[in-house]
Amino acid sequence: LTGVPREQRAFQYVLAHAIPGDPRHVLQTFDQWCYRCEHLSSVGPVKGRIVERLLYERAPRRVLELGTYCGYGTVLLAQGLPSGARLYTVAVDPRHAAVAEKVIRLAGFDEQTVELIVGPSEEVIPRLREKHGLLKADFVFMDHWKRCYLRDLRLLETHQLLAEGATVLADNVLFPGAPHFLQYAKTCGKYRCKVHRASLEY
């Protein structure tokens, strides 16, 4: 009715209530909005703890996020990076990317720590090495269109963008579901797989 997109309404709330430069408080403010006002398909605090634990265990130097949306997952990833690490996040929708950029900077992360790349993942992935300087990713977080998971994993393999021992974490593989991705990961012989049980966000 207002003509303001849901994502922009959420950002306006975060801007008004979050503490600038405090990534944890930015995420908590997003959570408050999503619990009380409108649902956003962000990672959320429950699955967020899984992401945080894996980041702590792996301490990756180069992280790739496919599916920036409003920047919630980006802030979650960035706050868990070791010193000197870099995060590349890929957003397909320019309108969502504009919101995410503000959220990421509000949380206190500059372009040296988080690089936001706008474009379809199938076009961005082949250019990551030459155009963006990502030689190999130690940690990949997939949270974009589920039908793209398998295609993009194969693209990462083809362009040799996965470091040895890299972690690939994919959200919502059971529901809404990414069955072809899951079958490939389990049967191709390249990966050791674990399914993390969690509720849907919010």
* pLDDT 10s digits, 140-155: 999 999 999 999 999 9
Model-level pTM? Answer: 0.96
All domains in the chain, ordered by first residue: 6-188 (3.40.50.150)
Query: What per-residue confidence (pLDDT) applies to 2?
Result: 75
Write out the two tokens for 73: 């997952």
Residues 167 and 139: beta-carbon distance below 8 Å: yes
Beta strands in 68-158 (DSSP E): 86-91, 114-118, 137-142
Residues 174 and 195: beta-carbon distance below 8 Å: yes
Query: What per-residue confidence (pLDDT) applies to 1?
Result: 66
Catalytic residue (one of 171, 186, 190, 194): 171
Helix axes 23-36, 44-58, angle to 10 degrees: 150
Q: Mean pLDDT of all residues in the chain?
A: 96
Write out the two tokens for 61: 């130097």
Catalytic residue (one of 146, 164, 186, 190): 146
130 is catalytic: no
Query: What per-residue confidence (pLDDT) applies to 71?
Result: 98
Percentage of the chain surpassing pLDDT 90? 95
Nearest one of 76, 84, 74 to 52, comparing CA atoms: 76
143 is catalytic: yes
